[in-house]
Chains A and B, each alone.
Chain A
Amino acid sequence: MSLWEYANPRRFMAVSATVLPWTWAAAALLCATGLVWGFFFTPEDFRMGNSVKIIYIHVPSAFIAINAWFMMLVASLIWLIRRHHVSALAARAAAPVGLVMTVVALLTGAIWGKPMWGTYWEWDPRLTSFLILGLFYLGYMALWSAIEDPDAAADLTAILCLVGTVFAVLSRYAAQFWSQGLHQGASLSLDAEENISDVFWLPLVVSLAGFVALFLALVLLRTRTEIRRRRLATLTARERLA
């Protein structure tokens, strides 16, 4: 029994069909628990008031936005090295989810930023690097949709993902170098001296887990759609030949 057995599309379809409803259920349950707990059963922050509660959407979506790219990087590497088609399709499936999460993180940040910082947008390193991350997602998706041959598209986007990762990380440090930050530092790190209080931390972790489950469910669903689309293309091609 090895992980690579799921690289077989038939096997992947069978397993993901049974896993997918559970993932959806976990996503719905965890998101609902985390968000309801966070929105209605936590105290107001003494300085930020009610607006602190946007953290339960902002932080998980930002977390997913970054990690979706790393998932794409790993999937691209697997495709380039071991040529498993499911892996390439999973990378393709994750990109729009990552882009939406980037936009959600930027939007919730803007909504929170207006009353707290007095501005919707600030050229802060973190905000800037998120905007740049969104651009990288856009370019990656545009390249996928521009190339007709599916294998060439998978190869080229995988290479773009590798080069893009290096430059996305570089851009993050360039942005840090280029302007001073307004965004608060990490408040969830395990090794930090000062984290947010447990009252806020526990529901945040629950909704973080919910967003991870939601991401998994969406990627599984989209990968299944891609596999079916690929099968349909093969069938129609065969039909045309016959």
Chain B
Amino acid sequence: MIALLLRDLRLATRAGGGFGLGLAFFLILATLVPLGVGPETDRLAPIGPGILWLGALLACLLSLDRIFALDLEDGSLDLLATAPIPLEGVATVKALAHWLTTGLPLTVVAPALSLLFFLPTTALPWLVLSLLIGTPALSWLGTFGAALTVGLKRGSLLLSLLVLPLYIPTLVFGAEVVRRGAEGLPVGTPLAVLAAITLGCFALLPFASAAALRINLR
């Protein structure tokens, strides 16, 4: 499993892997929103948490269709399916690799981008914490969506249609944590629910992803 994780990370970071693409998209989105709605502090500060979370979500979505499609094309997915580790383990490792190459970098650069939205510094720890807790759920859900659509020719558009509704609870609670943090309200409840969603995704979604993969490889 560790070998598979290292292989996926290596594939993602080397040329043509698309690492950094999500980050660049996140940066562009954070630049375009103020250009679109105007530069006033009192307008940007309230929508900042929502925009940053939405940007993280869309940036995650960008690289989803690569999770299994390339492996299916060159046949390594068949090898993984017959490998000694169960397919559930493969799905978990794939999701983890996706998170390490998109969710984690997004979490790291988010505080810098939050300056563009004049977020108060009291909100920064909550922004980082909510992204750190919430983005794994996005990767796990995305892996499930990628497993559902892996055999399809024009799968990526369908993939966004399938995955985005599943992202709604994570988005709601994630943005709520930052919003409450910025206003100095207690954040315990949304943070706990966000963590619960992520842990539930960890526990259950690899089984759904593996089932979908088995059907697609049949």
Q: Which of these, A159, A167, A173, contacts B165 with CB under 8 Å?
A: A167
Cα distance A236–B155 in the bound complex, in angstroms? 28
* B197 near A170: Cβ-Cβ < 8 Å: yes
- Knowing A135-B165, A159-B211, the reply to whether A143 touches B148 (Cβ < 8 A) is yes
Interface size on A, residues (CB 8 A): 26
Contacts of A175 in B (CB 8 A): 172
* A132 near B205: Cβ-Cβ < 8 Å: no
Contacts of A159 in B (CB 8 A): 148, 208, 211-212, 215
Q: Is the interface of B mostly helix, strand, loop or mixed?
A: helix
Produce 1/0 per residue, A154-191, CB < 8 A to B: 01100110111001101101110110000000000000
Q: Which of these, B162, B190, B208, contacts A143 with CB under 8 Å?
A: B162
Q: Is B81 an interface residue (CB 8 A)?
A: no
Chain A nearest CB: distance from B149 CB in Å?
Answer: 8
- Knowing A147-B152, A167-B169, the reply to whether A142 touches B161 (Cβ < 8 A) is yes
Q: Is A242 an interface residue (CB 8 A)?
A: no
Give the interface size class of chain B: 20 to 34
Q: Is B26 an interface residue (CB 8 A)?
A: no
Cα distance A75–B102 in the bound complex, in angstroms? 37
* A142 near B176: Cβ-Cβ < 8 Å: no
- Knowing A155-B215, A163-B144, the reply to whether A174 touches B166 (Cβ < 8 A) is no
Contacts of B154 in A (CB 8 A): 146
- Knowing A155-B215, A162-B208, A163-B205, the reply to whether A174 touches B162 (Cβ < 8 A) is no
A-B pairs with beta carbons under 8 Å apart, 13 shown = A132-B168, A139-B165, A142-B161, A143-B162, A152-B151, A156-B148, A156-B215, A163-B205, A164-B165, A164-B166, A167-B166, A168-B165, A175-B172
Binding site for B on A (CB under 8 A): 132, 135-136, 138-139, 142-143, 146-147, 152, 155-156, 159-160, 162-164, 167-168, 170-171, 173-175, 177-178
